[in-house]
Structure 1
Amino acid sequence: MADAATLLPVPGAGLPQEDPWAQVLGDLEMTAVFCSTGRFSEPWGLALPPLPGTTMFHLLLDGRAVVDVEGEHHDLAPGDLVLVPHGTGHRITGAAGDPATGLWDVDRTVVADRYEQLRIAGGGRPATLVCGAVGFTDPGVGRLLASLPPVLRAPGPGASGADPDRAWLRALVTAIDHEVRRPRPGTDVVTARLADVLLVHVVRGWLEAEEPASGWIAALRDPALGPVLRAVHAAPADPWTVESLAAVARLSRSAFAERFTGTVGEPPMAYVAGCRLDAAARLLREGDASVEAVSRRVGYDSVPGFHRAFVRRHGTTPGAWRASGGAPTLADALGR
């Protein structure tokens, strides 16, 4: 997950202040860990394992389905999309009580490296699904994902209500349905890209509708803490101190530290350190500067110190991160 530094609008950077989510959503650059289409008939079910560091989704194209995440049950109608932001293990079945087969034990056809077609033939009512797991190329997206609830659900374009989004959402689901039913060269890429748009739509809807009391989103909206986040993300390498951050917030040192820690969930300087290391991850992925140069650019005087801190935060060395492009794989998600 990527640096929050790129997730926040910076004053004067050309982003309209009335739309604080434009860059947040724009930086949800996804990479498929896996994507699949499923043709099932009842009784059917999938048991998905936990995939840490990923966001999983299910789009029901036709039929019916029930998603069970941490004891929460969600009945899906055609066009409905369910998002599991934290990679939590869960089940999706044709009907409540249907048996669930482990994801890796389902009959499948491998179409491409990260794209498969799944089949379960129970002989009853049919259903068609697009399912998948995605990672994010920017590590700081984790701050946004951590603020989301265990499950996000977007009603399909056929749901009741005068939502102006229905027309384009219907067109998007229709396009995915077309690709699934008439696979051609590149169907895996097109389906994944269309699913990306749907996922951003779900997150945007939640951002517009919810006002969490704590977490990164709450801090971004806070009139005192929001400017602090913007300042740190704009210049993570600056020699920030609790005092200088408190000055940006226009609060006393103690009041700022208490408010920041209580809202964000970590002390101010720990947050700054995380932003620096996330910025380093982005620089390593996108550029060809040496590890030493990157360490200096994000405010580290010692390369060994930077190396140790990077491993603690990202679980791998700076060199290995650069070699992999920072993109998660299915083996990463499974801890293999």
Structure 2
Amino acid sequence: MDILSDVVAAMRTGVPHSNRTVVRAPWYTHFPAQGNSAGFHVVLQGSCWLLPDDGEPVHLQVGDVAFLPRSRGHAIADRRDGEPGHTAAGRGVETVLLCGAYSLDSSREHPAVGELPDVVHLPARVGHYSPLRAAIDLLGHEIDTRDGSGAIAPLLEVLLLFMLRAWYESHPADSGWVAALRDPDIYAALAAIHCEPGAPWTVQSLAARAGLSRSVFAQRFTATLGTGPLTYLTWWRMTGAAKLLRETDVLLRVIAEKSGYTSEYAFAKAFKREFGVAPGRFRAQGRAEAA
């Protein structure tokens, strides 16, 4: 079970998009904060500066990747002191960028994404993040040769997953999701929850998956992730249920079963406790907003 892949699938909404841009200095492009949008910039040629509206500038060189996991106003420019008066029609040094955006469900931001900094900078390093580099090359090739190809959206999904993996692989930690994804015992329990969210899990059965005693498992899980195993189980079940309600016509009875509840009533009660509204109203509200 690839937990990060599952997290990405649960959070992503809508259709991601990207484009390849060629600019010559002096240039400056601003990206305002937009709802649930997450974005990325990859420098294919040259260099530039990423200028957050409320943060420190980040210098991006060829091969660097910058991922902004939550909506945050920012600009990219050819120099640190770039300003809106500069245009993208200069005659100076050429820079080639691959930029894109995703729509993520910020109302159910997964802790694995919530722990990320506002700007995830993945500098180019020989021998590092090879799957990410391969995904960038493929995406750039598709955009250059078959603009609008049906392969672009799936490649963008893969790129998002690989950006997350690259960051987690390069940031050691003693707690949080960085630690959980590296702890084989905790990972085994999380994989069980993600693989079968509707199973009748207990702390004891999850501890067995982890190969630990009940008390040791409960203590380590809570110390690592800051929440108990059954609390996370319920959160993940409700996240999956909300996505099914928002994006499908699956019957409530079926969603209840998939979420580990033996009756619609028990499911509806748990769902309302989590979201503040009944499942049917949640579905209706989602469709009204999308209309």
- CA 1:75–1:192: 2 relative to 1, 3 Å: farther
Where does residue 76 of structure 1 map in the other structure?
Answer: 60
Distance 1:191 1:122 in 2: 30
Q: Kindly provide the amino acid, as one letter, of the partner of residue 77 in structure 2.
A: T
Cα displacement (A) at 1:246 = 4.8
Distance 2:151 2:84 in 1: 29
- CA 1:174–1:290: 2 relative to 1, 3 Å: closer
Number of equivalences: 280
Q: Kindly provide the amino acid, as one letter, of the partner of residue 294 in structure 1.
A: I
Distance 2:184 2:152 in 1: 40
Where does residue 78 of structure 2 map in the other structure?
Answer: 94
Cα displacement (A) at 1:134 = 0.9
- 1:48 equivalent in alignment to 2:12: no
Where does residue 49 of structure 2 map in the other structure?
Answer: 66
3-state SS, counterpart of residue 65 of structure 1: strand
3-state SS, counterpart of residue 71 of structure 1: coil
Distance 1:39 1:32 in 2: 24
Q: Which moved more, 1:162-171 or 1:37-46?
A: 162-171
- CA offsets, 1:105-124, max 9 Å, x none? x9xxxxxxxxxxxx733554
Where does residue 311 of structure 1 map in the other structure?
Answer: 275
Q: Which moved more, 1:268-277 or 1:210-219?
A: 210-219
- CA 1:165–1:125: 2 relative to 1, 3 Å: same
Q: Kindly provide the amino acid, as one letter, of the partner of residue 84 in structure 1.
A: L
- CA offsets, 1:228-284, max 9 Å, x none? 22332233334444455456553354x544432331122333211112112324544
Question: Any gaps of 5 or more consecutive residues in structure 2?
Answer: none
3-state SS, counterpart of residue 308 of structure 1: helix
Where does residue 144 of structure 2 map in the other structure?
Answer: 178
- CA 1:39–1:93: 2 relative to 1, 3 Å: same
Distance 2:194 2:161 in 1: 22
Q: Kindly provide the amino acid, as one letter, of the partner of residue 77 in structure 1.
A: Q
Q: Kindly provide the amino acid, as one letter, of the partner of residue 251 in structure 1.
A: S
* RMSD value, Cα: 4.2
Q: Kindly provide the amino acid, as one letter, of the partner of residue 112 in structure 2.
A: L
Cα displacement (A) at 1:318 = 4.4
- 1:251 equivalent in alignment to 2:217: no
Q: Kindly provide the amino acid, as one letter, of the partner of residue 180 in structure 2.
A: A
Where does residue 277 of structure 1 map in the other structure?
Answer: 238
- 1:142 equivalent in alignment to 2:110: yes
Q: Kindly provide the amino acid, as one letter, of the partner of residue 88 in structure 2.
A: I
Distance 1:323 1:241 in 2: 35
Say whether the 8 Å CA contact 1:58–1:131 is kept in structure 2.
yes
3-state SS, counterpart of residue 79 of structure 2: coil
Tell me which of 108, 123, 127 is aligned to 2:95: 127
Say whether the 8 Å CA contact 1:91–1:100 is kept in structure 2.
no
Instruction: Give the 5 Å matches for 1:21-36.
Output: 21=2, 24-25=4-5, 28-29=8-9, 31-36=14-19
Distance 1:221 1:89 in 2: 33
- CA offsets, 1:187-244, max 9 Å, x none? 6x55555444444443333344333322234223324422322332233334444455
Distance 1:128 1:322 in 2: 39
Q: Kindly provide the amino acid, as one letter, of the partner of residue 233 in structure 1.
A: H
Question: Any gaps of 5 or more consecutive residues in structure 1?
Answer: 1-8, 10-20, 107-118, 325-330
Tell me which of 253, 264, 275 is aligned to 1:292: 253
Say whether the 8 Å CA contact 1:93–1:100 is kept in structure 2.
no
Where does residue 328 of structure 1 map in the other structure?
Answer: none
Say whether the 8 Å CA contact 1:34–1:133 is kept in structure 2.
yes
Q: Kindly provide the amino acid, as one letter, of the partner of residue 272 in structure 2.
A: R
> Which one has more relative contact order, counting CA pairs under 8 Å at least 6 apart?
1
Where does residue 176 of structure 2 map in the other structure?
Answer: 215
Q: Which moved more, 1:145-154 or 1:170-179?
A: 170-179
